[in-house]
Structure 1
């Protein structure tokens, strides 16, 4: 199949490399407002170059990967759907939840599948954790703990356009909590602070946050996020039940150092970036998209799925701002 890629920044090039190595993909066509970026990717991966999204869609692509800037996501998703081409789009659906709802209304009922890029759904550890929960191995859950800690903050321009740490970073934890447990979040209480880069504070954002989520069955989930984790990229999940407990991300590359006498775990080189931590998951995610394009599976993460995590992020943002618990129902619209 022929796949179009819109956006050749860091993640777009990474996706181009992954797609070029999949047996199901026979050719790529790429486009980026920065002509040199498109030409460089084309030379590296043997892709054709188009001068616009419209030209990519007109080139006979079977599927479209949107890796452009977030502000462009809504229009590009719609363009693909209107052309009848299955779309994979990196999260988020849009910069704001209101725009995301507009996208959902525009594409639902079209019959054209859209897959949103929440890669943790394809990580082997999270898949195993979900199987353990759904299979009853843990018994009834009482506590879930999720962690996403970046080794260093993103650039100031990225932070200013990100929508805030809950919408940009924590949203991965919110999505995976829903996906692994099969439960919905009903209420949140969030706190945050600024202990590092001044430009994050100046953008009105926090660089370190914590959130307590109440799930619809009474399970408590605790989410911890930070832009500053000098030891590496730390992404983990712990699920504690009445019958057993499991952890995701507890491997030899865990960016954490034990100070217990005689303990040498972990001994590996710590994960240093999300592309290192989740490379196999990205490959599995895009393999799934080729199956969506082929019509052999439904979208494994729809626009509606992505918006559910977005509502939790909205509730946390409001909770942090107003220093109070917030129900998801309070922020939900449409």
Structure 2
């Protein structure tokens, strides 16, 4: 199988290394506006190097991974679909939800699968939590808690182009809450503050946020996010039901320190970055994409799925700005 990669920045290079290690992938074809990045990938992985998306799609690839800048996502997704090549695109689908809706309309009814990169759907812990919910062993759910705490904020240029913490960071929590519970979010109330980097405040964004989500069956989900977590990269979920409760991320590399006397858990070195925390999940995600390319499974995260998480982010952004509860239907377009 020949897989193309458009974009060889941090995540694109990481994907190239992961794909190179998959037995089913025979050859990588790579492209990046920075010639040195493409050349380095070509030399490291024995990849064919091309100078444009058009050339990559004409190179006989069976599937293409889009890891380019967000602004390029819509055009590259549609170029792949128009060429009949299955696409895996990193989130988000587009910079704005309006553009994302246009992509959804353009791919609707097409036979070419598109997979959007929400890697937590492939993490073993989240998969087990979903299975526990779907089996009924937890009973009726009443509370979900989802946490994403980064060890340090991204650079100022990234923050300025990110769309805000809800669209960039919390959206992973929103997607995984939907996926694990199988429920939709109907209303949100969000708060936020700035206790750290001045450039985040200057960009009109918050560095620490909380959101209460009401699901369509009455379950309450609490989402906590921050750009500043000195102990490491903390991603967790708790799911509480009337019969039982389970947790994702409660393991020895959890970046949290107990102050209870005699307690030595967690004993491992804390996770320090998302690529450390989710290395296995990314491998499972890319393996799933090769199965999508082979036609043996449908897309495990469609454009429509990604937009649903995006609408929740939009509602939280409005809630934070106007200091009020916001129903998701209030912000939905198309």
> Is TM-score (shorter-chain normalized) higher than 0.5?
yes
Provide the residue aligned with 1:205 in structure 2: 205
Provide the residue aligned with 1:313 in structure 2: 313
| Alignment gaps of 5+ in structure 2 | none
| CA distance in 2: counterparts of 1:232 and 1:9, whole angstroms | 22
Provide the residue aligned with 2:7 in structure 1: 7
| CA distance in 2: counterparts of 1:268 and 1:42, whole angstroms | 36
SS in 2 for 1:246: strand
Shift of 1:156: 0.5
**2:260 corresponds to 1:260:** yes
Give matches, 1:1-334, under 5 Å.
1-334=1-334
Instruction: Normalising by structure 1, report the TM-score.
Output: 1.00
Shift of 1:110: 1.2
| CA distance in 2: counterparts of 1:287 and 1:263, whole angstroms | 38
1:34-65 Cα deviation digits (max 9, x unpaired): 00010011111110100000000000000000
SS in 2 for 1:232: coil
1:152-201 Cα deviation digits (max 9, x unpaired): 00011110000000000000000000000000000000000000000000
| Alignment gaps of 5+ in structure 1 | none
Shift of 1:315: 0.2
SS in 2 for 1:144: strand
Instruction: Normalising by structure 2, report the TM-score.
Output: 1.00
SS in 2 for 1:191: strand
Shift of 1:261: 0.6
SS in 2 for 1:74: helix
| CA distance in 1: counterparts of 2:266 and 2:313, whole angstroms | 32
| CA distance in 2: counterparts of 1:104 and 1:41, whole angstroms | 32
| CA distance in 1: counterparts of 2:272 and 2:43, whole angstroms | 28
| CA distance in 2: counterparts of 1:25 and 1:46, whole angstroms | 12
Shift of 1:220: 0.2
SS in 1 for 2:199: helix
| CA distance in 2: counterparts of 1:178 and 1:302, whole angstroms | 13
SS in 2 for 1:272: coil
| CA distance in 1: counterparts of 2:300 and 2:182, whole angstroms | 14
SS in 2 for 1:253: coil
